Structure formats: structure tokens, C-alpha cells
Amino acid sequence: MTAVPPPPGEGLRRARREDLLALPLEVAPRLLGARLRTVVDGTAVTLRITEVEAYHGKGVGDRPDPGSHARMGRTARNATMWGEPGHLYVYLSHGIHSCVNVVCAPDGVAGGVLLRAGAVESGVPAAAERRGLGSVLRTDSAAAPESAGKTPIAGIHPEIRPRELRDLARGPGRFGQASGLRHPQHDGIDAITGVARAGAVAELWLGEPLAEFAVGPRVGVAGQAGTDAFPWRFWIPGDPTVSPFRWGRGAAEAARASGSADTPGVDPC
């Protein structure tokens, strides 16, 4: 389709559909350190994935997944989650945010990995523009002197402050906005073939599995309480782009009562 693009980083290869055939719980940590590359309306952005969450369809065994859009079965909204792995399930959150999932599990089985946060690796000005940072400084000399003396500037991204750079794709709403993918027009786009959909192309690139990553309860899921919460969130330890943790509705009390930490997480590997 598109002319074969160069890998967005060393040691990366395009994801194959069979890479995503396993259940979300298995696929999710493998997406840490992977890249999502999008071209929307001719603008390319590459995101290095730093935080993900697994969402199963009906759940595992007799335990339903209280956070999954597919927990009640197949509907028009969640149809993409039930389809072929490797497509992107893009849904609207709170009427405002377009959030991006990588569909996994075999065709006919609902499953997805929510891309919760990432680091913008290339296309920083475009991502900043989409994030509404109109005051982003250009790399050209006209704007540079303004902040050159004031603000410590990240080495490879002189056009943006470190804080703004960190926050560009920190959280699923921001990640979706930075990527340029939007609900509903890009829901179902194929990140394996890279076939265009509504003016957009998406590609998933995989690296070697991380030797070490962190695990904890998912963020903001109502009905997952305290220590009973599914530890289905995965992130890169210490990465500044990982979003802050918060319990879902009604779960904070249960968490406190059971004596679990404020920001739960352990490093298993």
C-alpha cells in the first residue's frame, strides 16, 4: 500500500496477525516498547508504547471482566473487539476522547489491549498541534531564542518543553489524540496490512519482549474493587510517560479497607 517505510527504530519488525492471536493478557506485555506509527491526513507520528491494559471479552473462566466493553456480549459498538486480531478498536470515551485498542484473540473471540500511554518518538510538532499546543516553538531560529535562555530544552526536541513532551501521549485520551486516530471513522483500521481507512494508515511494529515490566490493577475500572481487581495493567517501570494510577468508581474504599497501596504495582520479571 504505502511505500515500504523504514522501521521507526532499531530492532523492530512489522507485527504479524499471528503475533496477536493469543489472549489479551498474553499479548499486552509484548506491546510494551512496541511502536504505533500512524499517518493521518498525510501527517506521520510514531508512538513508543509505555503503558497498556488487557481487556477480555467475557472474562476468564467463571470470572467476568467488569471493565470490558464486550462483557455483555457482541453489540454494534464493540463489534471490532470480536473481529480479526491486528485491527484497532477505537472507541469514544466520555463523549470526548478517542481511545485506541489493539484487537487480539482469534476472530470471533472478544479481546483487546488498550494503549494507555506512550512517548512521541517522531512527529512531535504534529502531535503537539493535535494536542492543542498552538504555542509550540518551531525548530527554526525565529522562535527559538524566546525560550532558549529560559527553559531547559530536551536535546532532540528543542521545539517543545520537557513537560509538554512527556504529556503528549500520557493517558489513553491523549494517546489517541496524539495518534490522530478518531472515533468513529478510524474504528476497525488494520494495523497489520496498513490499508488506509478514512484518510489514515496505522502500522504496529514489534521489538524484543521487555526483560522487565510492571504489573498492577487497571485504571478507572468501576466494579473492580481493592484486592479483587484484575492486575491487567502493564507498564515500563520508571518511564515518565506512564499515566498516574487511580481507582474506579466505588473501588477506592474497598482498596483502603483491604489495606492495599495507593499506587499498586510490582515488578515480576
Residues that bind DNA (CB under 7 A): 53, 55, 67-70, 72, 75-78, 81, 89, 91-97, 99, 101, 112, 114, 131, 167, 170-175, 184, 218-222, 243, 248-249
Residue with smaller CB distance to DNA, 13 or 256: 256
Residue with smaller CB distance to DNA, 158 or 173: 173
State the Cα–Cα distance between residues 139 and 136, nearest whole angstrom. Answer: 10
Residue with smaller CB distance to DNA, 95 or 149: 95
Q: Is the peptide bond before 184 cis (omega within 30 degrees of 0)?
A: yes
Residue with smaller CB distance to DNA, 12 or 28: 28
In angstroms, what is the minimal distance from the CB of 80 to DNA?
10
Residue with smaller CB distance to DNA, 122 or 177: 177
Residues 69 and 91 sit within 8 Å (Cβ to Cβ): yes
Q: How far, CA to CA in Å, does 202 sit from each of 15, 60, 195?
A: 11, 30, 8
Residue with smaller CB distance to DNA, 8 or 111: 111
Task: Give the residue from 40, 80, 58 showing the smallest Cα distance to 187.
Answer: 80
Residue with smaller CB distance to DNA, 144 or 198: 198
Residue with smaller CB distance to DNA, 50 or 243: 243
DSSP collapsed to 3 states, the chain: CCCCCCCCCCCCEECCHHHHCCCHHHHHHHHCCCEEEEEECCEEEEEEEEEEEEEECCCECCECCCCCCCCCCCCCCCHHHHCCCCEEEEEEECCCEEEEEEECCCCCCCEEEEEEEEEEEECHHHHHHHCCCCCCCCCCCCCHHHHHCCCCCCCCCCCCCHHHHHHCCECHHHHHHHHCCCCCCCCCCECCCCCCECCEEEEEEECCCCCCCEEECCCCCCCCCHHHCCCCEEECCCCCCCCCCCCCCCHHHHHHHCCCCCCCCECCC
